[in-house]
Amino acid sequence: MAEVEINPILCENNQLCFDICSEGVFEVDRGKVVVKNPENCNECFLCVETCPTGAVSID
């Protein structure tokens, strides 16, 4: 299973990862984007490529 992480120091909560992920890995919880379903990740890396601050990592 992929490890999906949002670096809290780099994240500016623009939620582009949430918008682009078709697998429902991210969720917005009380206005803040979080990793919710990492087991759904298919390692397409779209979120990593889309995040302007480099906050998302897939391992």
Size of the site for ligand SF4 (CB under 6 A): 13
**Amino acid of residue 14:** N
Among 23, 34, 36, 57, binds ligand SF4 (CB under 6 A): 23
Interacting residue with ligand SF4 among 4, 11, 16, 33 (CB under 6 A): 4
Is there a contact between 4 and 38 (Cβ–Cβ < 8 Å)?
Answer: yes
Applying CB under 6 A, does 33 fall inside the site for ligand SF4?
no
Give the C-alpha separation, 45 to 55, whole Å: 12
Residues that bind ligand SF4 (CB under 6 A): 4, 20-21, 23, 25, 41-47, 58
